[in-house]
Amino acid sequence: MTEILDLTAAQAAAAVERGELDRSELFETYRERAAADELNAYLWVADEAPHANGARVGPLSGVPLAVKDLFCTKDVPSQAGSKILEHYRPPYTATVVDRLASAGAPLLGKTNQDEFAMGSSNENSAYGPVLNPWDRARVPGGSSGGSAAAVASGSAPWAIGTDTGGSIRQPAALCGIVGLKPTYGAVSRFGMIAFASSLDQAGPLTRDVTDAALLFRHMVGHDERDSTSVAFPEEVRLPTARTLEGVRLGVPEDLTGEGVEPGVMERFDATLQLARDLGATVDRVALPHADYAISAYYVIAPAEASSNLARYDGVRYGLRREADDLLTMYTKTRHDGFGAEVKRRILIGTYALSSGYYDAYYGRAQRVRTKIADDFKNAFERVDFVVTPTSPGVAFELGAKTDDPLAMYLNDYFTAPMPLAGIPAISIPAGLSEGLPVGFQLAGPAFSENRILEAAYALEQAIGFDNSAARK
Amino acid sequence: MIDREQVLHVARLARLELDEEEVSKISGELSTILEHIEKISELDLESVPPTSHSVDVSNALRPDVPRACLPREVVLSQAPAVEDGGFVVPSPTA
């Protein structure tokens, strides 16, 4: 069993292909670990392996997959971490989950998350916080905190999550694993319970870069049920690069270390030095509007959320609070069903879209979004990737920021600009600071995932991060 | 600064009941958040076009071919109250 746990997902798939590992044994090993999980990473775990005769075999060879709660899975609870969707079992499955199952990655469990993906610590789940496997007194990050903790603690070989302002990359960083936020449109959003539709994107959370590439390969593609999805322009390749010869990295000019924990900055600088040793050049690039990204993000995301969450009204599914008249039924259901952070965002979004404020908030934020996208375009004329720490700090203690929503939002400082520009970015572990993982982020132009994965792979080999301690 | 009246107004627009404790807490929190958001008013954005979406797709159409939808009983199976093949809600005018 220990031997199975030591295998990455790609290694496990290869072992199954060679006939050295039984698929049912692989599934059962992880199923038992997921069922015994003590981090509150799961909201549902499969009670048996898919039947051998009915199970689909594909290139992913039966390596089981943990799936963030907000992906709809037919007849399996899909609650988006919210009480308003308690016990909801959708009549259909999200396209990306379906694609991965067809490729041979069966559903292992549904992972805990911040309610409707709103949060950076997983403390906003209606089903309790997830604990960080490196230190159980700390948060795993969010909103895909359950997926990140599951992979880091070895209760899942790999997982998928969603990223709207950093919800894949930040928990990956805080849990010492790899997280990729793809180009907007690369992965179908059909069946993903929506938070902010123009930003939401599904992606892999994995033990290493190769696993991320392998899983991502089977996630991409146009889906006629998501009109914003597009065909990925090339095959997703498994990375092999050993050097960064000729690769130009750009560090934002205003990244001086201010507002970043010294231990995080130290790992960031050390990683830049490793990149230079591998042949990369490192230059400063101007991203003059990145500093406005959090402000624009916290208008656009809540505005879209306030519209998307209007559907939770106690009529068609989920919670209902009885009342004598329709309006009171709506308002009571929503009062009891939504948590504090979701209410805050619905109110911010509704305010920003309301008569008299629309131009000042939503209209301006959309223009800032254009400036941020232009900044990246200009930067990518001079460098191949923009690099930053993924998060300004390591995993913080449970409860440390719950009373200060703005402090919590500032966790997204380095991750919010990319979804606004629709571009891909990866977080890879860059070592430890005070015993806790630090993430290194690389962002590239739209559809540059293959190049990002190659560069991340070369760096990963040089960093040699050992994440086995969290799987004990 | 968002006052209590504005919070209640926005909550009404959002069909969200707030209890007394929530109203006072949220008005302070929203004020802090909006103050940070106000940062975008520093920028001159006069000639900048808005971006609603980062993908250049418009009017994505598919052939208009009829196909089966989910059976009625499946769709109704998750509803809190159902009668005669439809969703039941309290009267709007009660």
Give the pLDDT confidence of B31-48 residue by residue, as tens digits.
999 999 999 999 999 899
Does B89 sit within 8 Å of A371, measured CB to CB? no
Residue A57 confidence (pLDDT): 76
Residue with tokens 């559907």: A311
**Segment A415-448, tens digit of pLDDT:** 999 999 999 999 999 999 999 999 999 999 999 9
Please check whether residue A319 lies inside any domain of the structure.
Answer: no
B interface test, pick of A163, A181, A229, A367 with most B CB neighbours within 10 Å: A367
Please check whether residue A108 lies inside any domain of the structure.
Answer: yes
Residue A208 confidence (pLDDT): 98
DSSP state, residue A192? B
Please check whether residue A360 lies inside any domain of the structure.
Answer: no
Q: Answer yes or no: are the C-beta atoms of A269 and A249 closer than 8 Å.
A: no
Q: Answer yes or no: are the C-beta atoms of A226 and A189 closer than 8 Å.
A: yes
* Residue A342 confidence (pLDDT) above 90: yes
Q: In the numeric block, which tokens belong to residue A146?
A: 């359950």
- HSE at residue A248, side-chain half, CA atoms within 13 A, is 10
Q: Count how many domains chain A has.
A: 1
Residue A407 confidence (pLDDT): 87
In 10 A of CB A421, how many CB atoms? 26
Residue B24 to chain A, least CA–CA distance (Å): 12
Does A329 sit within 8 Å of B89, measured CB to CB? yes
Q: In the numeric block, which tokens belong to residue B50?
A: 């808005």
Structural domains in chain B, CATH included, are 1-43 (1.10.20.60)
Average pLDDT over residues A103-110: 97
Residue A301 confidence (pLDDT): 98
Please check whether residue A159 lies inside any domain of the structure.
Answer: yes
Q: What is the CATH number of the domain that holds A112?
A: 3.90.1300.10
Beta bridge partners of A205: A159, A179
Q: What is the ipTM of this complex?
A: 0.95
d(CA A379, CA A372): 11
Report, in this order, helix, strand and coil percent for chain A, each rounded to 5: 40, 15, 45
Residue B61 confidence (pLDDT): 85
Angle at A468 between CA A145 and CA A108, to 5 degrees: 50
* Residue A54 confidence (pLDDT) above 90: no
Please check whether residue A94 lies inside any domain of the structure.
Answer: yes
Q: How many CB pairs under 8 A join A and B?
A: 178
Average pLDDT over residues A384-413: 94
d(CA A61, CA A72): 23
In 10 A of CB A214, how many CB atoms? 24
Residue A49 confidence (pLDDT): 78
Average pLDDT over residues B6-33: 94
A interface test, pick of B55, B72, B73, B83 with most A CB neighbours within 10 Å: B55
Grade residue A51 by pLDDT with cuts at 50, 70 and 90.
Answer: low
Q: In the numeric block, which tokens belong to residue A208?
A: 């290493």
Helix or strand holding residue A459 (H, E) = helix A449-463
Q: What percent of chain A has pLDDT over 90?
A: 94
Give residue A20's domain range: 2-246+449-471
* Residue numbers of B between 22 and 81 with CB closer than 8 Å to A: 22, 26, 29-30, 32-34, 36-41, 43, 45, 48-55, 57, 60, 62, 70, 74-75, 77-81
Is omega for the bond preceding A143 within 30 degrees of 0, making it cis?
yes
Average pLDDT over residues A104-116: 97
Question: Which range (A273-282, A338-347, B63-72) has the least confidence?
Answer: B63-72
Beta bridge partners of A427: A179, A441
Q: What percent of chain B has pLDDT over 70?
A: 99
**Segment A123-136, tens digit of pLDDT:** 999 999 999 999 99
Please check whether residue A22 lies inside any domain of the structure.
Answer: yes
Average pLDDT over residues A349-359: 93
* Residue A298 confidence (pLDDT) above 80: yes
pTM above 0.90, yes or no: yes
Please check whether residue A309 lies inside any domain of the structure.
Answer: no
Residue B53 confidence (pLDDT): 82
Please check whether residue A210 lies inside any domain of the structure.
Answer: yes
- Would you mind telling me the total number of residues written for chain A in this entry? 472
Residue B54 confidence (pLDDT): 82
Residue type for position A8: T
Mean model confidence pLDDT for chain B: 92
CB-neighbour burial class of residue A334 (10 A; exposed 0-12, middle 13-18, buried 19+): buried
* Residue A242 confidence (pLDDT) above 80: yes
